[in-house]
Structure formats: C-alpha cells, structure tokens
Structure 1
Amino acid sequence: MDLSVWLALLALFFAGGLTPGPAVMLVMSTSLRYNARIALIPAVGISAANLVWMTLAASGIATFAASLPVVLTGLKIAGLLFIAWLAWSMASTDPAQPRASAALAPLRTALFGRGVGLQLLNPNALVFFGLLLPSYFDAARPVIPQAAIIMGTVTMTEMLGLTVYAWAADTMNRRFQNPDFARWFNRFAAAAMLASALFAAFLTTAR
C-alpha cells in the first residue's frame, strides 16, 4: 500500500472515529451509566465487528451485497430496527437512579454483544466498509498484507475515538451529577444515534 493511500485511509477513519454516530452514542451512554472502563467493552465489540466488515470488503462480498437492492434494503431495515431499540433503551433510562457501579454492570458478554450487533447492522458501517473501503485496495498487489494494514489502522483509529468519547462522558457525568442533565443528554444521544443511522440508510439509497 502506498503511503499516500494509507494517509488518506488514516484521515478518513480518524475523522469517522471522531464523528458522533450510533457507535459513539452507545459508548457514551454506557460510560454515563457505568464508567469509562466499562464503556470500552462495547467499544471492543464494535472494533471486532469492524474486522468482519473489513474481511468482507477485502473479499469483495460487501461491495457485491451493496449492489443488490434486496440485500441492501434488508440490512438497512434490520439495522434501523436494532438501533431504534438501542435508542429507546437509552432514552428511557431513569436518570434518577444512582449510577450503577462497575460490579453491578451487565455481563461483559452482553455489552460486547451490543457493540458487535450495533456495528454489524449499522448503516454507517455499510457506507464506510461496503462503499468506500474497497477503493483503498490495490488490485495489483496482494490482498492479505493490505487487509492487515487496513485492519490495524481502522482498529487503532476507532478505539482511539471511542476511548476519547468514553472518558469525555465519564468526566461530564462526574461534573454534572444532575438527573435533568442526564435525562436530556440521553434523549439527545438517542436522537443523534437514530438520525445518524437514518442518514446513512438514505445515503446508501441515494448512491
């Protein structure tokens, strides 16, 4: 992979990792409910799902699936329903309850599973990995080394961005220990999560 191509890839996913979307909102919500360290569990799940997406992109399956209207529509509907459920769960959280301790957090596998499920069904992921990422592969060069570089780059930028948001939410929670603040933040995060997914679904339709 040429250095210029790698730098373009780095810029794309670094910007994507810092752009609020369903994955960011899930991590921030988890951080507000528990703490930043616990919020990294769904972040790891999101990164694990990214590896699946990148494998599909490298093999050409993601682009092929994105070119089939029935598959594309089914994926978007399933993703929007899952994200709508997550958004509702976030918006309906009772902020008057004491902040849950890490010891009382749901099973780590459940939080990890939420991260995986969200990213596998996230229309934003379809845009990045199904429509944009394949163009960064050079057909004249071996696929496996390129895929390894891309996986490492995307995982690093994704985890960096999600970690920043996790700690930012944790800091906000400590500074604004107010039920009204938590209530409105959860509602805003839920709306932003759903709006981002709807926009991505529309974008793939427009393309």
Structure 2
Amino acid sequence: MFSQGFWIGAGNPKAIAFFGALFPQFIDATRPLLPQILVLGITFVIFDYTAVMVYATATATSRIAPWVTRHGGSRAIDRFCGAVLISAALLLSLIDAPTSFASEK
C-alpha cells in the first residue's frame, strides 16, 4: 500500500507543480544538488507527517468534536490559524530579499 500511495502521489501533476515551484527557491546552484534535495524532501515529509497526524488525532478524538461544533471551537481555531499566518507574514517582511543570480550577470 505504501508503494502504491507513493507512486500515486509522485505522479500527481499538482504535487509536481508544487515541488517545482517550491524547491528551486531554496537550492543553491553552486553546491551539490543531491544533498540539498534530500534535506528539503526529508524536511517536507517530517512537517507533512506531523500536520496530518495532528489533524487525524484532533478529528478522531471524541472530546474535541463536540467542542468545535457546539462551543465556538471553530472560531478559536480560525483565530489561531489567522494569527499564525499574520505572524509568518510579519516575520517574512523582516527578512532581506536575497539577490538573484539573474541580477549578477
């Protein structure tokens, strides 16, 4: 089942476009390519696995579902996620943009 899931995911055009747009931003052309791709791939797998497990645990727990549906829990989750995204945007605004390879030519 693992290999079947892997090949289905690897052949997904949306996944190919996602990685094709994401990975080149973090790859240094002057260094060996394989170690960089391995680090990026392993990092992505760890974060993706963690996010999926947190989601699966939260939805499978019978104590959380009533809280979300009856007591405004979805509003709290929305506010938390919004705060995380705003914080990430603020942190990104503080980072200096790197010079591109195109501007060096």
Using structure 1 for the length normalisation, give the TM-score: 0.29
Structure richer in helix, relative to its length = 1
Higher relative contact order structure (alpha carbons within 8 Å, sequence separation ≥ 6): 1
Using structure 2 for the length normalisation, give the TM-score: 0.48
